[in-house]
Chains A and B, each alone.
Chain A
Amino acid sequence: MTDLLYTDIEESLRSSVRSSLQRSLDDGLAARLYDEPDTDVGPLWRGLAEQLGLAGLLVPERLGGSGAGPREAAVVLEELGRSVAPVPFLTSAVIATSALLSAGDEEFLPVLSAGERTAVLVLPWTARRGAWAAVDGAVGPVAGAVGADLFLVPEQGEGGVTSLRAYEADDVEVEPITSLDMTRPLARVATRGQGAEVARGAPAEAAVDAALGAGQALLASEQLGLAQWCLETTVEYAKTRVQFARPVGSFQAIKHRLADLYLLLVNTQAAARYAAGTLADDDPDQQVAQSLAQSFCSDAAVHAAEEALQLHGGIGMTWEHPVHTRLKRAKSDQLALGTPERHRDDLADLVDLPAP
């Protein structure tokens, strides 16, 4: 059984990311992005990349990265999920980077590791491992494309063979979409010209599946962090908000809902750690772990955000309170990289419980 706990190194990485975010991410930024989508969030990401080496976390040291693994990346995503940080860690440093690592690239990874440029895998944000199609013409909605420098596009090459091609920003058209979650904005992407081939045939398909698999495994940790923020924030509120001359947290109806939410998060944490651990160990159960995590953690994060909203009462409905930014991210995350229902279908095949 894979290790489901956190190491001391991971805990110290967590506190570095958290304190760095506390210094550099202002509380109102997430909500402001809905009114001012052109706000430049580049400095936030470059700061995290420079100070903590997050851009190259999954890249081996010989290619300029820090040679860490999925378990560490998962902890980073827990922290980014807590604060709904508008940074391309998941789309660039996890998903696009995993595609390049699988394809054996040595050209782009050193530049990405340095945090100078960001990359994106150009597929609909709803694509999942084993369920995506080569891009033909414009594609959307793509997450992580706004502001990206390098575009990795799986295309249909000669003779129907899949070709994973890299395009520079000058060779693509990126048309932003007004998104449910403006902290991870979506766009339609169209390419011009030929780009450069990164991989071809089976290795290209494997690279895309590896990228989506890593995304599925680690998105669960973002969902975990977001859900934990919802629980902690709501518990604090329930301790201090007084109604009928008692803190609302002393009412059994409220306590039981928060206890149920805690239980849900204990389970979410186990599923997320199992997905990260099996990915790190290259465990044969990793596909089960990924579909399991996406089936469970996606719904759990949405439920946590919805409970947080309800238990905050009227203030939760306001633009000023940050809970709405978590709900928008949670609901978008639920649809990203395969809905829970589709992952349950995948899981049914993986564990031999066939549909009728």
Chain B
Amino acid sequence: MVDLQQRLDQFLAEHDPTTTGAREFLGAQHDAGLAWVHFPDGLGGLGLSRGRQAEVDERLEAVGAPRPDVGRNSIGLGMAAPTMLAFGTPEMQRRHLRPIFACTEIWCQLFSEPGAGSDLAAVATRAVPDGDEWVVDGQKVWTSGAHNADFAILVARTDSSVPKHAGLTYFIVDMTDPGIEIRPLRQITGEAEFNEVFLSGVRVPDRNRVGAVGEGWKVATTTLNNERVAIGAGNDREAGQIGPVTERWRRDPSVRTPGNHAELMQWWVRTEVTRLAGERLRQGLAVGQPGPESSAMKLAFAQQAQQVSGFALELAPEEGLTYHDWSMVRPETGSFLGHGPGFRYLRAKGNSIEGGTSEIMRNIIAERVLGLPPEHRPDKGIAFKDVPR
């Protein structure tokens, strides 16, 4: 049994968090097995239960240690790393996990396509074998942070003669490779946080394949379940959209009306209860992978973010009529909370679409958690090439 506090004592004695640079500190934290304690020894962890990471994080937070930049590298930290741990080769794990944690490698996710959003298994981007390489052609969309990314996780079709889920393969792509073109995709907020990514004859070595050929759906499901945990995960009380609203309420008596108070308390309760449910899910994960239950947290998060951010505009109506800036920028980090209430309201509209729509989340819960009969699927059992599109 590892004495975690003792290990932290030793680590902090050797690496002064106040004088060590973020990258160096995080790299050393990874090497000490304190990055993800539930990962194996040598890969940033100690083989402990997932729940014990909180002990590490609390301790490091208390001493003001540098933290991984979740805003810039949420895909790397929240999705690429756990997927690589579950399905990657040992070489891949040694090559990428440390730089992901230290945020010296920024990642993005090449999943969605114009014709395959919620129906993710319908991706048409092709990967064709050529010697010990694959040649990738296609178009992706809604790629957050592609303009900052060093690497990407990619789902591509490697066999169109089998039903859609069976013909997919999962790869790691170097975003500096020739044939990759990134175009900003301007959104409802005015910003271009997302991108379109065009792949033309991109050559990916076979050693960058994650999981077996044709097993891409299984690998992607692991990524998506982790994504839903990451999106739905609250941290502290009043984190998220409720935070600016409660802050305003305490600071500014002019917003306090009886109607607003009743609504505020409704949202406070729902937000807090969902935070506890997320905490309960994390406690229950232990060493296992998140399952379809994580869809429920993602669904709850989206509902609340949208309704609370809408309420925030009504709370201070004169301010709600203004907007911070409509000029197009390509932000460094994705943030749901940046700028003013108008931005938060508009940005939150994406929460029920990105990472799987709320309608798809409900289908997943109904079929995979509650065991209700599946939807009628006309594409079931039919080769992908024969499915009408």
Contacts and interface: CB of A to CB of B under 8 A. Distances in A.
A76 interface: no
Given A296-B269, A347-B265, A356-B258, A5 B283 contact: yes
Interface in A240-264: 246-247, 249-250, 252, 254-256, 258-260, 262-263
B365 A263 contact: yes
Contacts of A268: 273
Interface in B366-389: 366-367, 369-376
A128 to B, nearest CB: 16
Interface stretch (B18-26, B137-145, B249-257): B249-257
B279 interface: yes
A353 interface: yes
B277 to A, nearest CB: 4
A271 B276 contact: yes
Which of A249, A292, A352, A356 counts the most chain B CB atoms within 10 A? A356
A269 B277 contact: yes
B178 to A, nearest CB: 45
A239 B373 CA distance: 7
Interface in A217-250: 231, 235, 238-239, 246-247, 249-250
Given A270-B280, A356-B258, A356-B261, A256 B366 contact: yes
Nearest to A261: B370
Contacts, number: 126
Contacts of B266: 344
B95 interface: no
A4 B366 contact: no
A353 B273 contact: no
A278 B337 CA distance: 31
Nearest to B246: A353
B362 A255 contact: yes
Nearest to A297: B273
A351 interface: yes
Contact of A255 (B269, B276, B367): B367
B151 interface: no
Interface centre among B269, B365, B374 (most CB of A within 10 A): B269
B265 to A, nearest CB: 4
Contacts of B361: 259
Q: Is the interface on chain B under 10, 10 to 19, 20 to 34, or 35 or more residues?
A: 35 or more
Contact of A292 (B264, B272, B297, B365): B272
A235 B371 contact: yes
B183 interface: no
Nearest to A293: B273
Contacts of A295: 265, 269
A256 B365 CA distance: 9
Contacts of A273: 276, 280
Tell me if B's interface is mostly helix, strand, loop or mixed. helix
Contacts of B195: none
A45 interface: no
Contact of A252 (B249, B274, B277, B363): B363
Contact of A249 (B265, B270, B373): B373
B270 A250 contact: no
Contacts of B264: 353
Contacts of B362: 255-256, 259-260
Contact of B261 (A4, A249, A262, A355): A355
A4 B299 CA distance: 21
A353 B300 CA distance: 23
Contacts of A1: 54, 279, 283
Given A249-B373, A266-B277, A259 B365 contact: yes
B263 to A, nearest CB: 10
Q: 5 closest pairs, A vs B, by CB?
A: A255-B366, A270-B277, A356-B256, A259-B362, A250-B373
18 contacts: A5-B280, A5-B284, A231-B370, A250-B372, A255-B366, A259-B361, A260-B362, A270-B273, A270-B276, A270-B280, A271-B276, A273-B280, A292-B269, A295-B265, A347-B265, A347-B268, A347-B269, A355-B261
Interface of B: 54, 246, 249-250, 253, 256-258, 260-262, 264-266, 268-270, 272-274, 276-277, 279-280, 283-284, 293, 296-297, 299-300, 359, 361-363, 365-367, 369-376
Given A270-B273, A296-B273, A344-B266, 6 more contacts: A250-B373, A259-B365, A259-B369, A262-B370, A266-B293, A344-B265
Interface of A: 1, 3-5, 231, 235, 238-239, 246-247, 249-250, 252, 254-256, 258-260, 262-263, 266-271, 273-274, 292, 295-296, 341, 344-345, 347-348, 351-356
